[in-house]
Amino acid sequence: MVRVNTRDEILRVAGEQFARVGFKGTSLSDIAVEVGCSKAALLYHFAAKEQILLALVATAERALADLVADLDALDGPDAQSVAIERFVDLVLHYRREAALVYEVVPQFHSEPAFGEVLRQADKLCDAITARSGDPADAIAAQTVLHGIVNVAIDDTWDAAQLRPALLRVARRALITPHHDKD
């Protein structure tokens, strides 16, 4: 008989429930019931539902931090090109985690626990704009990043088909010079 680690089981069940009914739609009691432990036992491992979410996305967050650290050494178009390609790969590799973050980011903008993820996202946006400093470029970068995540988390798309399409769309939207006049 294999002994299951309660913490790991909490994470597994929470990930499934968050994916099925959303972060807001899942309670700590729901998770505890499905794990087969008391709510007190669950709280021993995680003081809040947000801590469970952070644990579920920790590996993806580290990958984002590594990407941003690599981008710090690059300027302009090089940073932009690498940022686009590696962000698409990161999101496709961590589709479930991206879906979790995408769902909760609007409600957690002011939460200190999510501050580092938001700082990393800001640095990624800066690289994707080729460090232009232009607010319109920042808006375009955020729009494209959100679009990439929104499409990638739809698991009906095959990653092998999705990757080249996302890269092509992102490059077209961000790299092609636009000379639009308002």
Per-residue model confidence as pLDDT tens digits over 36-80: 999 999 999 999 998 998 899 889 989 999 999 999 999 999 999
pTM over 0.85: no
Copy the structure tokens of residue 76.
């302009």
pLDDT(94) > 60: yes
pLDDT(1) > 60: no
Using pLDDT thresholds of 50, 70 and 90, give the confidence band for residue 179.
very low
Dihedral of alpha carbons 36, 39, 44, 49, sign: positive
Return the higher-pLDDT residue of 176 and 117.
117
pLDDT(95) > 50: yes
Burial 123-137, CB ≥16 within 10 A → b, else e = bbbbbbbbeeeeeeb
Q: How far apart are CA 114 and CA 105, in angstroms?
A: 8
Using pLDDT thresholds of 50, 70 and 90, give the confidence band for residue 177.
low
Q: C-alpha 104: how far from its chain's center?
A: 10
Calculate the average pLDDT of the chain.
88
**Which residue type does 157 have?**
W
Query: In this prediction, what percent of the chain has a pLDDT beyond 70?
Result: 90
Burial 13-32, CB ≥16 within 10 A → b, else e = bbbebbbeeebeebebeebb
Q: How far apart are CA 123 and CA 77, in angstroms?
A: 15
